[in-house]
Amino acid sequence: MELENINLDIKFIRSQFPAFKDSLSKNWTFFENAGGSYVPQQVINELNKFMISTKVQPYAEYPMSKIAGENMDQATEIFAKMINAKTREIIIGGSTSINLYVLSNALKYSIKPGDEIIVTNQDHEANISPWRRLSEVGAVIKEWKINPQTAELEIETLENLLSNKTKIVAVTHCSNIVGTINDLKKISQLVHKKNALIIGDGVSYAPHGFPDVKELGVDFYTFSLYKTYGPHLGLLYGKEEILKKLPNQNHEFLNGDYPYTINPGGPNHEELCSLIGIYKYFDKFYYHHFIKDNKNIREKILKVNELISKHEEKIANPVLDYLNSRKDINLIGKNKIKNKNRAPTISFFSKKVSSKQLANKLVNNGIATRNDNFYAWRCLEALGIDTKDGVIRISMVHYNSEDDVNNLIKVLKKIPD
């Protein structure tokens, strides 16, 4: 069946998430998904199963321990397949911020005084500060600045910054403020022409469709699993040929045993195992909407990604249209989603009242959102926005509904322009 004839079954999708039945959360219209998503029942089941039956030190021969180790390995293998990576290219750590800090600490030994590192002022601070700190070992930090009129990163600006001294370029795949999906594949190609490394931050991209890291051509890629319907963990992908050469950041006896060398202390066992539930959810998602077949994990994810994008475009564009029609509101980024040119992460501010005041009005009317700089304070600063008051951010994912959108617009209409 052709995708254009299939619509996402929102009733089925929401039935998989206990939060929509919970007495505390069920009456709220939840638009803070970019801060952390709800989890499906399958994740909760896997977490409970581990804690009840296998909460022991893994990899011994007695059954509880053996099963624990097998499930930890299975979770890593599944996620590798979901993003088209090798199992030994996947690191599951405490968060994206931690993963990137450890990675930068490993890469600093290859940096010589005068080497250049390019960061943007559009990114979340997690993919800026670890690289800026390498100035301590003599790196020259160059900033790829957004166009202050459009809030966009422009490829021509990067081309002017790149040089034969460039060693690392760190850039977001999707801005958590602007919503724009940057052409990471093209950026990777430009960076590799200078024999430099490219580090992609996919935290704001992955909730809207797990990427193919090989297709993107990145050397490293990271995202937060608690924003992709799982527990509070971060995933870091790194090319095997690079990981095996990085200096050990873990226990001395693990030297050479990558990727554990880039994961001090190892992963959280129970939360790692619960990642199996994310795949079980998406597997159920796939078979609910498509015919039963023998597609592999990545092929299923591709089909799910397409259906998610179609649904997110359907629910986000009415919000973008409404905000863009208000003379008292400044919308940041593109005013329309088309062919996945932006995520349904929508930031705006009022010309009349503070973001805090407007956010409070939304919350008082059952809309779960907030005002903040969302750790992208450099982006707001470049746009001339008060970084303490910040912007209001409406962030949607595929379990948001047309009813959610109607509720939001109804509340916004109560606020005089």
Percent of residues, the chain, with pLDDT higher than 90:
97
Is 38 in contact with 30 (CB distance < 8 Å)?
yes
Is 80 exceeded by the pLDDT of residue 353? Answer: yes
Q: Phi and psi (nearest 5°) for 395?
A: -115, 120
Tokens encoding 126: 């997690």
Is 80 exceeded by the pLDDT of residue 404? Answer: yes
Is 70 exceeded by the pLDDT of residue 277? Answer: yes
List pLDDT tens digits, range 161-194.
999 999 999 999 999 999 999 999 999 999 999 9
Residue 5's pLDDT band (boundaries 50, 70, 90)?
Answer: confident
- What value does the mean pLDDT take over residues 387-395? 98
Class of domain 47-276: alpha beta
- What value does the mean pLDDT take over residues 115-119? 98
Strands (E), 269-338: 329-331
Is 279 in contact with 104 (CB distance < 8 Å)?
no
Among 357, 275, 227, which Cα is nearest to 90's?
Answer: 275
Is 80 exceeded by the pLDDT of residue 3? Answer: no
So where are the chain's domains? 3-39+298-414, 47-276
Residue 249's pLDDT band (boundaries 50, 70, 90)?
Answer: very high
Residue 1's pLDDT band (boundaries 50, 70, 90)?
Answer: very low
Q: Phi and psi (nearest 5°) for 298?
A: -65, -40
Which amino acid would we find at residue 409?
I
Neighbours of 417 (CB within 10 A): 12
Question: How far is Cα 329 from Cα 308, in angstroms, rounded to an integer?
Answer: 28
List pLDDT tens digits, range 292-307.
888 999 999 999 999 9
Considering the four listed CATH numbers 3.90.1150.10, 3.30.980.10, 3.40.640.10, 2.60.120.1440, the one that applies to the domain covering 3-39+298-414 is: 3.90.1150.10
Q: Looking at the chain, how many residues does it have?
A: 417
pLDDT at 4: 66
Find the range with the poorest average confidence among 197-201, 343-347, 413-417: 413-417
Is 60 exceeded by the pLDDT of residue 312? Answer: yes
Is 42 in contact with 16 (CB distance < 8 Å)?
yes
SS3 350: strand
Is 80 exceeded by the pLDDT of residue 403? Answer: yes
Question: How far is Cα 375 from Cα 373, in angstroms, rounded to an integer?
Answer: 5
The one-character DSSP state at 390 is -
Segment holding 238, helix H or strand E = strand 234-238
